[in-house]
Amino acid sequence: MAPGRGRPFPGRVSHLPPAGITALAPGYPTSIMKWGKRDDMLVHEEEPFNAEPPTGALAGRFLTPLDAFYSRNHGPVPRIDAAAWRLEVDGLVERRLRLSLEELRSRFPEREVVATLQCAGNRRAELIEVRDIPGEDPWRSGAVSTARWTGVSLADVLAGAGLRPGAAHVSFTAPDVAREADPPQPYGGSIPAAKAVAGEVLLAWAMNGHPLPAVHGAPLRVVVPGWIGARSVKWLERVTARADPSGNYFQAVAYRMSPPGADPSRSGPGTGIPLGPVALTCDILSPEDGSRVPPGPTEITGYAFAGGGHGVARVDVSSDAGRTWSQAELDAPAHPWAWRLWRAVVVLSEGEADVLARAWDTAGATHPETPAALWNPKGYGNTSWGRLHLTCRR
Protein backbone atom coordinates (compact mmCIF):
# COMPACT_ATOMS: atom_id res chain seq x y z
CA MET A 1 0.00 0.00 0.00
CA ALA A 2 1.33 3.47 -0.80
CA PRO A 3 2.21 5.60 2.21
CA GLY A 4 -0.71 7.71 3.33
CA ARG A 5 -3.40 5.54 1.75
CA GLY A 6 -5.34 4.01 4.60
CA ARG A 7 -2.54 3.95 7.16
CA PRO A 8 -0.32 6.59 8.69
CA PHE A 9 3.22 7.02 7.34
CA PRO A 10 5.57 6.05 8.82
CA GLY A 11 4.31 3.66 11.51
CA ARG A 12 4.68 5.85 14.58
CA VAL A 13 2.84 8.85 13.15
CA SER A 14 -0.84 9.32 13.76
CA HIS A 15 -3.40 12.08 14.06
CA LEU A 16 -3.11 14.18 17.19
CA PRO A 17 -6.11 15.89 18.77
CA PRO A 18 -5.58 19.35 20.27
CA ALA A 19 -4.00 19.76 23.73
CA GLY A 20 -6.29 18.51 26.46
CA ILE A 21 -8.44 16.39 24.18
CA THR A 22 -7.55 12.73 24.22
CA ALA A 23 -10.43 11.36 22.19
CA LEU A 24 -13.33 12.75 20.25
CA ALA A 25 -16.69 11.12 20.87
CA PRO A 26 -18.53 10.15 17.67
CA GLY A 27 -20.47 13.12 16.40
CA TYR A 28 -18.41 15.59 18.43
CA PRO A 29 -18.26 18.87 16.51
CA THR A 30 -14.94 18.97 14.68
CA SER A 31 -14.93 22.75 15.09
CA ILE A 32 -13.21 22.19 18.45
CA MET A 33 -10.13 21.10 16.45
CA LYS A 34 -8.69 24.59 16.68
CA TRP A 35 -5.20 23.77 17.92
CA GLY A 36 -5.26 26.47 20.59
CA LYS A 37 -6.22 29.20 18.13
CA ARG A 38 -8.57 32.14 18.66
CA ASP A 39 -12.26 31.49 18.18
CA ASP A 40 -12.48 33.99 15.34
CA MET A 41 -9.87 32.30 13.11
CA LEU A 42 -11.06 31.80 9.55
CA VAL A 43 -10.72 28.02 9.23
CA HIS A 44 -10.34 27.09 5.56
CA GLU A 45 -10.07 23.37 6.37
CA GLU A 46 -10.25 21.47 9.65
CA GLU A 47 -8.40 18.38 8.33
CA PRO A 48 -5.78 19.18 7.32
CA PHE A 49 -5.93 22.23 9.57
CA ASN A 50 -5.63 25.47 7.64
CA ALA A 51 -6.57 28.71 9.37
CA GLU A 52 -5.78 32.41 9.39
CA PRO A 53 -6.59 35.17 11.88
CA PRO A 54 -8.69 38.23 11.08
CA THR A 55 -6.26 41.01 10.11
CA GLY A 56 -7.26 42.97 13.22
CA ALA A 57 -5.54 40.27 15.32
CA LEU A 58 -2.24 40.98 13.52
CA ALA A 59 -2.53 44.78 13.44
CA GLY A 60 -0.12 46.78 15.60
CA ARG A 61 1.62 43.69 17.06
CA PHE A 62 5.19 43.18 16.00
CA LEU A 63 5.20 39.60 17.34
CA THR A 64 2.08 37.61 16.54
CA PRO A 65 0.51 35.93 19.59
CA LEU A 66 0.59 32.13 19.22
CA ASP A 67 -3.20 31.88 19.23
CA ALA A 68 -3.37 34.19 16.20
CA PHE A 69 -0.42 32.78 14.20
CA TYR A 70 -1.75 31.35 10.92
CA SER A 71 -1.30 27.65 10.28
CA ARG A 72 -0.86 25.95 6.92
CA ASN A 73 -0.81 22.16 6.75
CA HIS A 74 -0.88 19.89 3.73
CA GLY A 75 -1.46 16.74 5.78
CA PRO A 76 -2.59 15.74 9.28
CA VAL A 77 -0.55 17.02 12.23
CA PRO A 78 1.63 14.01 13.13
CA ARG A 79 1.84 12.64 16.65
CA ILE A 80 5.54 12.45 17.42
CA ASP A 81 7.06 10.66 20.39
CA ALA A 82 9.57 13.34 21.48
CA ALA A 83 11.64 10.80 23.47
CA ALA A 84 12.09 8.51 20.46
CA TRP A 85 12.50 11.37 17.97
CA ARG A 86 15.94 11.86 16.37
CA LEU A 87 17.25 14.30 13.79
CA GLU A 88 19.27 12.63 11.02
CA VAL A 89 21.83 14.65 9.05
CA ASP A 90 23.10 12.78 5.98
CA GLY A 91 23.91 12.95 2.27
CA LEU A 92 27.05 14.78 1.10
CA VAL A 93 28.55 15.16 4.58
CA GLU A 94 31.82 14.02 6.16
CA ARG A 95 30.05 12.70 9.26
CA ARG A 96 26.41 11.56 9.48
CA LEU A 97 24.69 12.81 12.62
CA ARG A 98 21.84 11.29 14.60
CA LEU A 99 20.80 13.59 17.43
CA SER A 100 18.12 13.74 20.10
CA LEU A 101 16.72 17.16 20.94
CA GLU A 102 18.87 17.26 24.09
CA GLU A 103 22.00 16.40 22.09
CA LEU A 104 21.18 19.08 19.53
CA ARG A 105 20.68 21.65 22.30
CA SER A 106 23.84 20.78 24.18
CA ARG A 107 26.11 20.41 21.15
CA PHE A 108 25.33 23.67 19.31
CA PRO A 109 24.93 27.27 20.55
CA GLU A 110 21.38 28.51 21.03
CA ARG A 111 20.29 31.18 18.56
CA GLU A 112 17.29 33.47 18.27
CA VAL A 113 15.93 34.98 15.08
CA VAL A 114 12.86 37.19 14.73
CA ALA A 115 11.35 36.26 11.38
CA THR A 116 8.12 36.77 9.51
CA LEU A 117 6.61 33.66 7.95
CA GLN A 118 4.46 34.27 4.90
CA CYS A 119 2.60 31.60 2.98
CA ALA A 120 2.98 31.75 -0.80
CA GLY A 121 -0.83 31.50 -0.96
CA ASN A 122 -1.42 34.58 1.22
CA ARG A 123 -4.04 36.86 -0.42
CA ARG A 124 -5.02 34.21 -2.97
CA ALA A 125 -8.66 35.31 -2.52
CA GLU A 126 -7.87 38.52 -4.45
CA LEU A 127 -6.40 36.47 -7.32
CA ILE A 128 -9.51 34.26 -7.32
CA GLU A 129 -11.63 37.40 -7.82
CA VAL A 130 -9.66 37.98 -11.02
CA ARG A 131 -10.10 34.40 -12.24
CA ASP A 132 -11.05 31.20 -10.40
CA ILE A 133 -8.32 28.95 -8.99
CA PRO A 134 -10.01 25.57 -8.42
CA GLY A 135 -8.79 23.30 -5.63
CA GLU A 136 -6.88 25.93 -3.63
CA ASP A 137 -7.99 27.61 -0.39
CA PRO A 138 -8.99 31.27 -0.74
CA TRP A 139 -6.55 32.65 1.84
CA ARG A 140 -7.21 36.28 2.66
CA SER A 141 -4.59 38.63 4.16
CA GLY A 142 -3.86 36.64 7.34
CA ALA A 143 -1.41 33.95 6.12
CA VAL A 144 1.50 36.01 7.42
CA SER A 145 2.77 36.22 11.01
CA THR A 146 5.94 37.02 12.93
CA ALA A 147 7.62 35.17 15.80
CA ARG A 148 10.82 35.13 17.80
CA TRP A 149 12.20 31.67 17.04
CA THR A 150 14.69 29.86 19.28
CA GLY A 151 16.85 26.97 18.18
CA VAL A 152 20.23 26.24 16.66
CA SER A 153 21.62 27.61 13.45
CA LEU A 154 21.44 25.14 10.55
CA ALA A 155 24.87 26.47 9.56
CA ASP A 156 26.34 25.21 12.86
CA VAL A 157 24.77 21.77 12.43
CA LEU A 158 26.03 21.51 8.84
CA ALA A 159 29.50 22.60 9.99
CA GLY A 160 29.33 19.83 12.62
CA ALA A 161 28.56 17.29 9.90
CA GLY A 162 31.05 18.81 7.44
CA LEU A 163 29.64 19.59 3.98
CA ARG A 164 31.42 17.66 1.22
CA PRO A 165 32.33 19.22 -2.15
CA GLY A 166 29.32 19.17 -4.47
CA ALA A 167 26.78 19.85 -1.71
CA ALA A 168 24.81 22.59 -3.51
CA HIS A 169 21.41 22.10 -1.81
CA VAL A 170 20.10 21.04 1.57
CA SER A 171 16.79 19.19 1.77
CA PHE A 172 14.39 18.74 4.69
CA THR A 173 12.08 15.78 5.27
CA ALA A 174 9.08 15.49 7.58
CA PRO A 175 6.75 12.56 8.38
CA ASP A 176 3.36 14.11 7.52
CA VAL A 177 1.84 12.65 4.37
CA ALA A 178 0.00 15.00 2.07
CA ARG A 179 -2.51 13.12 0.00
CA GLU A 180 -2.65 15.95 -2.52
CA ALA A 181 0.95 15.08 -3.42
CA ASP A 182 1.22 12.80 -6.41
CA PRO A 183 2.14 10.11 -5.47
CA PRO A 184 1.21 10.58 -1.76
CA GLN A 185 4.45 11.27 0.10
CA PRO A 186 5.77 12.89 3.25
CA TYR A 187 6.25 16.67 3.11
CA GLY A 188 9.66 18.02 2.14
CA GLY A 189 11.59 20.72 0.36
CA SER A 190 15.05 22.19 -0.04
CA ILE A 191 17.04 25.40 -0.09
CA PRO A 192 20.36 26.17 -1.79
CA ALA A 193 23.40 25.41 0.37
CA ALA A 194 24.39 29.11 0.23
CA LYS A 195 21.20 30.00 2.15
CA ALA A 196 21.53 26.97 4.44
CA VAL A 197 24.96 28.07 5.70
CA ALA A 198 24.11 31.79 5.90
CA GLY A 199 23.49 31.63 9.64
CA GLU A 200 19.92 32.91 9.87
CA VAL A 201 18.26 29.58 9.02
CA LEU A 202 17.21 27.96 12.29
CA LEU A 203 16.22 24.53 13.48
CA ALA A 204 13.75 25.84 16.06
CA TRP A 205 12.12 24.30 19.12
CA ALA A 206 10.51 27.46 20.56
CA MET A 207 8.32 30.27 19.32
CA ASN A 208 7.88 33.55 21.22
CA GLY A 209 9.51 31.90 24.24
CA HIS A 210 7.07 28.94 24.32
CA PRO A 211 7.80 25.36 23.31
CA LEU A 212 6.83 24.92 19.67
CA PRO A 213 3.14 23.94 19.54
CA ALA A 214 2.37 20.64 17.75
CA VAL A 215 0.57 22.41 14.91
CA HIS A 216 3.65 24.58 14.28
CA GLY A 217 6.07 21.64 14.03
CA ALA A 218 7.12 20.27 17.46
CA PRO A 219 9.59 19.02 18.40
CA LEU A 220 11.73 20.76 15.74
CA ARG A 221 11.08 22.80 12.62
CA VAL A 222 13.10 24.67 10.05
CA VAL A 223 12.70 28.46 9.88
CA VAL A 224 14.01 29.91 6.61
CA PRO A 225 13.83 33.69 7.16
CA GLY A 226 12.83 35.73 4.13
CA TRP A 227 11.64 32.69 2.14
CA ILE A 228 8.12 31.46 1.47
CA GLY A 229 6.68 29.55 4.43
CA ALA A 230 6.68 26.28 2.46
CA ARG A 231 10.45 25.92 2.91
CA SER A 232 10.17 26.17 6.72
CA VAL A 233 9.54 22.44 7.08
CA LYS A 234 7.75 21.41 10.30
CA TRP A 235 8.24 18.16 12.27
CA LEU A 236 11.74 17.95 10.83
CA GLU A 237 13.29 14.45 10.78
CA ARG A 238 16.04 14.58 8.18
CA VAL A 239 18.46 17.14 6.75
CA THR A 240 20.26 15.95 3.61
CA ALA A 241 23.11 17.66 1.81
CA ARG A 242 22.82 17.00 -1.93
CA ALA A 243 23.90 18.06 -5.38
CA ASP A 244 20.38 18.88 -6.66
CA PRO A 245 17.20 20.39 -5.22
CA SER A 246 14.80 18.00 -3.46
CA GLY A 247 12.57 15.94 -5.75
CA ASN A 248 9.74 16.19 -3.19
CA TYR A 249 6.35 17.10 -4.68
CA PHE A 250 6.28 20.37 -2.73
CA GLN A 251 9.62 21.43 -4.21
CA ALA A 252 9.56 19.90 -7.69
CA VAL A 253 5.87 20.34 -8.62
CA ALA A 254 3.98 22.61 -6.17
CA TYR A 255 5.17 26.03 -5.00
CA ARG A 256 6.27 26.87 -8.52
CA MET A 257 5.12 29.92 -10.44
CA SER A 258 3.57 28.66 -13.67
CA PRO A 259 2.59 30.86 -16.61
CA PRO A 260 -1.08 31.98 -16.70
CA GLY A 261 -1.99 29.54 -19.51
CA ALA A 262 -0.47 26.44 -17.87
CA ASP A 263 -2.53 23.57 -16.43
CA PRO A 264 -0.82 22.96 -13.07
CA SER A 265 -2.50 19.53 -12.69
CA ARG A 266 -0.59 18.33 -15.78
CA SER A 267 2.72 20.12 -15.28
CA GLY A 268 5.54 17.70 -14.56
CA PRO A 269 8.30 18.05 -11.99
CA GLY A 270 10.65 20.94 -12.62
CA THR A 271 8.34 23.19 -14.62
CA GLY A 272 7.60 26.72 -13.46
CA ILE A 273 9.77 28.99 -11.36
CA PRO A 274 10.60 27.45 -7.94
CA LEU A 275 9.51 29.89 -5.25
CA GLY A 276 12.07 30.89 -2.65
CA PRO A 277 12.73 34.43 -1.44
CA VAL A 278 9.61 36.48 -0.68
CA ALA A 279 9.08 39.47 -2.99
CA LEU A 280 8.45 42.97 -1.61
CA THR A 281 4.91 43.34 -0.34
CA CYS A 282 2.71 45.65 1.71
CA ASP A 283 -0.77 45.18 3.12
CA ILE A 284 -3.33 46.97 5.27
CA LEU A 285 -4.26 45.26 8.56
CA SER A 286 -6.72 47.73 10.14
CA PRO A 287 -9.46 48.78 9.87
CA GLU A 288 -10.94 45.59 8.40
CA ASP A 289 -11.89 45.78 4.72
CA GLY A 290 -15.51 46.85 4.29
CA SER A 291 -15.74 48.58 7.70
CA ARG A 292 -17.82 51.63 8.46
CA VAL A 293 -15.94 54.55 10.02
CA PRO A 294 -17.02 58.09 10.93
CA PRO A 295 -15.86 60.87 8.59
CA GLY A 296 -12.70 62.68 9.72
CA PRO A 297 -9.24 61.40 10.65
CA THR A 298 -8.91 57.60 10.52
CA GLU A 299 -5.80 55.63 11.43
CA ILE A 300 -4.77 53.03 8.85
CA THR A 301 -2.17 50.42 9.91
CA GLY A 302 -0.38 47.63 8.15
CA TYR A 303 2.94 45.97 7.42
CA ALA A 304 5.55 45.90 4.67
CA PHE A 305 7.95 43.01 4.14
CA ALA A 306 10.90 42.48 1.84
CA GLY A 307 12.28 39.00 2.12
CA GLY A 308 14.96 38.67 -0.48
CA GLY A 309 17.97 40.73 0.53
CA HIS A 310 16.42 44.19 0.20
CA GLY A 311 14.91 46.14 3.07
CA VAL A 312 11.70 48.16 3.17
CA ALA A 313 12.52 51.84 2.61
CA ARG A 314 9.14 53.62 2.54
CA VAL A 315 5.39 53.06 2.62
CA ASP A 316 2.89 55.37 0.86
CA VAL A 317 -0.83 55.53 1.58
CA SER A 318 -3.59 56.97 -0.59
CA SER A 319 -7.20 57.55 0.44
CA ASP A 320 -8.38 58.71 -2.99
CA ALA A 321 -7.76 55.53 -5.01
CA GLY A 322 -4.19 56.51 -5.90
CA ARG A 323 -4.56 60.13 -7.08
CA THR A 324 -2.53 61.49 -4.15
CA TRP A 325 -0.22 59.74 -1.69
CA SER A 326 1.26 60.53 1.72
CA GLN A 327 4.03 58.77 3.58
CA ALA A 328 3.20 56.37 6.40
CA GLU A 329 5.13 56.38 9.66
CA LEU A 330 7.32 53.27 9.51
CA ASP A 331 8.64 51.47 12.60
CA ALA A 332 12.43 51.24 12.87
CA PRO A 333 13.95 48.19 11.13
CA ALA A 334 14.56 46.28 14.35
CA HIS A 335 15.05 42.83 12.81
CA PRO A 336 16.30 42.22 9.26
CA TRP A 337 14.04 39.19 8.62
CA ALA A 338 10.82 40.62 10.02
CA TRP A 339 8.03 42.77 8.67
CA ARG A 340 7.92 46.49 9.44
CA LEU A 341 4.70 47.83 10.85
CA TRP A 342 3.44 51.23 9.68
CA ARG A 343 0.60 53.64 10.36
CA ALA A 344 -0.90 56.66 8.64
CA VAL A 345 -3.78 58.97 9.43
CA VAL A 346 -6.04 59.79 6.48
CA VAL A 347 -8.87 62.31 6.60
CA LEU A 348 -12.00 60.85 5.07
CA SER A 349 -15.14 62.69 4.05
CA GLU A 350 -18.67 61.29 4.04
CA GLY A 351 -19.17 58.58 1.39
CA GLU A 352 -17.13 55.65 0.09
CA ALA A 353 -13.31 55.57 0.23
CA ASP A 354 -10.70 53.32 -1.38
CA VAL A 355 -7.50 53.28 0.65
CA LEU A 356 -4.31 51.95 -0.95
CA ALA A 357 -0.87 51.18 0.50
CA ARG A 358 2.34 50.42 -1.37
CA ALA A 359 5.93 49.95 -0.24
CA TRP A 360 9.29 50.80 -1.79
CA ASP A 361 12.43 48.80 -1.09
CA THR A 362 16.04 49.83 -0.60
CA ALA A 363 16.66 49.29 -4.33
CA GLY A 364 14.01 51.95 -5.08
CA ALA A 365 11.62 49.34 -6.48
CA THR A 366 7.94 48.97 -5.69
CA HIS A 367 5.43 46.14 -6.29
CA PRO A 368 2.54 45.55 -8.72
CA GLU A 369 -0.61 47.63 -8.39
CA THR A 370 -3.24 44.95 -9.00
CA PRO A 371 -3.72 41.22 -8.45
CA ALA A 372 -4.63 40.94 -12.15
CA ALA A 373 -1.00 41.72 -13.00
CA LEU A 374 0.08 38.72 -10.92
CA TRP A 375 -2.58 36.07 -11.62
CA ASN A 376 -1.11 32.56 -11.93
CA PRO A 377 -2.81 29.14 -11.98
CA LYS A 378 -1.92 28.08 -8.40
CA GLY A 379 -2.53 31.53 -6.90
CA TYR A 380 0.90 32.17 -5.39
CA GLY A 381 2.72 35.39 -4.64
CA ASN A 382 0.00 38.02 -4.55
CA THR A 383 2.20 40.94 -3.56
CA SER A 384 0.00 43.65 -5.06
CA TRP A 385 -0.74 46.94 -3.24
CA GLY A 386 -2.79 46.69 -0.08
CA ARG A 387 -6.42 47.74 -0.62
CA LEU A 388 -9.26 48.66 1.68
CA HIS A 389 -12.79 49.83 1.01
CA LEU A 390 -14.37 51.95 3.74
CA THR A 391 -17.80 53.46 4.13
CA CYS A 392 -17.64 56.83 5.96
CA ARG A 393 -20.88 57.68 7.74
CA ARG A 394 -21.79 59.19 11.08
> Among residues 232 and 319, whose Cβ is nearest to ligand MTE?
232
Identify the DSSP state of 218: T
Q: Of the two residues 68 and 315, which places its CB atom closer to ligand MTE in the complex?
A: 68
- Report the residue number whose CB is nearest to ligand MTE: 229
Cβ–Cβ < 8 Å for 185, 177? yes
- Contact (CB, 8 A) for 283 and 198: no
Distance CA 224, CA 229 (A): 8
CB of 313 to ligand MTE, least distance (A): 26
Please choose, from the candidates 213, 116, 132, 142, the residue with its C-alpha nearest in 3D space to the C-alpha of residue 377.
132
Is residue 347 within 8 A of residue 355, CB to CB? The reply is no
User: Cα(390)–Cα(249) distance, rounded to whole angstroms?
Assistant: 41
Identify the three-state secondary structure at position 253: coil
First to last CA, the chain: 64
> Which residues have C-beta within 8 Å of that of residue 288, sequence separation ≥ 6?
54, 55, 56
Choice between 233 and 304, CB closer to ligand MTE: 233
71 vs 246, which CB is nearer to ligand MTE? 71
Amino acid letter for position 358: R
Q: Is the dihedral of CA 24, 185, 66, 293 positive or negative?
A: negative
CB of 236 to ligand MTE, least distance (A): 8
Write down the least CB distance from residue 205 to ligand MTE, Å: 13
* Least distance in angstroms from the C-beta of 323 to ligand MTE: 36
Beta pairing, strands 87-91 & 210-211: unpaired
CB closer to ligand MTE, 64 vs 384: 64
Query: What whole-number distance in Å separates Cα of residue 50 and Cα of residue 327?
Result: 35
**287 vs 381, which CB is nearer to ligand MTE?**
381
Shortest reach from residue 87's CB to ligand MTE, in Å: 14
CB 7, min distance to ligand MTE, A: 18
In angstroms, give the least distance from the CB of 140 to ligand MTE: 14
Of 235 and 360, which has the nearer Cβ to ligand MTE? 235
Compare residues 264 and 287 and give the one whose CB is closer to ligand MTE: 264
CB of 72 to ligand MTE, least distance (A): 4
Cα gap 206→209, rounded to integer Å = 6
Q: How far is CA 57 from the centre of its chain?
A: 17
Which of 282, 343, 17, 310 has the alpha carbon at shortest distance from 141? Answer: 282
Q: Where are the beta strands (DSSP E) in 183-231?
A: 185-192, 202-207, 210-211, 221-223
Which spans of this chain sit near ligand MTE (rule: CB under 6 A)?
Answer: 69-75, 117, 119, 174, 176, 187, 216, 229-230, 232-235
